[in-house]
Amino acid sequence: MANIGESIKKVYIKIGTGITLIRDTGNISGEYIDSETNKQVTKPFVAEFFRNASFPYDTNCVSGDIMMFNTTLDRFIVMTKSPDVFGNDIAEFAGVLYKCNVSGEIQRASGELRDTQYHISQTFETVREDCYALMTEPLYAGELETEEELGLLNIDKEELYIPEKYDIRVLDRYVSRSGEYFMVTAIRKNKFDGVVVAVLDEDTR
């Protein structure tokens, strides 16, 4: 019996979306996936930036990859990837994509600089360029129950969903291409495989 995964892959090639995986070791092209928004979503932000996806059984894609759609050039973070098993074979993979809405560079403190007036300022060096990510206000699984809970939250902070391989750290500076400066105040590592959530605040250093 023919491999069902191979049959599904042929369908992706015919009607799917061509993608390129952006890798430091060299981009990988030639793959096709199927993706769509969740039809039950009512919030515009979620509808725009979150997508469900299906990958062929032999995909090179892993969680934490940056994936580019070849037609639109939009970039997405692969947040999850789970096998869909038929019998004893993997027929395809199912996953979730977050659309990247920022790119920039990660800078790290490298020392101090003293001017002629003896004012001390922090100096930074760039440790990684072209860092694609999703920047958003904190996303919560459910609605807040009380005004007291709202008061406990710092809603001014931003969250940056970014590949773990970028090695972003607490006290690093994320500089967006639009020229905004953010300081990393916390890193949440256990929410997703291959992706971390960096909590950001305005960087005035």
What are the structural domain ranges in the chain?
Answer: 4-99, 102-202
In the prediction, which pLDDT does 162 show? 98
In degrees and rounded to multiples of 5, residue 196 shows phi and psi of -115, 160
Residues of the chain with pLDDT under 70: 1-2, 39-42, 115-116, 118, 139-156
137-181 pLDDT tens trace: 886 543 333 344 334 444 458 999 999 999 999 999 999 999 999
Do the Cβ atoms of 53 and 17 come closer than 8 Å? no
Classify residue 149 by burial, with Cβ atoms within 10 Å: 0-12, 13-18, 19+: exposed
Cα–Cα distances in Å, from 85 out to 36, 90, 165, 180, 192?
21, 4, 28, 45, 22
Closest Cα to residue 10, out of 34, 40, 42, 46?
Answer: 34
What is the value of pTM for the model shown? 0.85
One CATH from 2.40.10.270, 3.40.50.2300, 3.40.50.12280, 2.40.50.140 for 102-202: 2.40.10.270
4-99 CATH fold: Thrombin, subunit H (2.40.10)
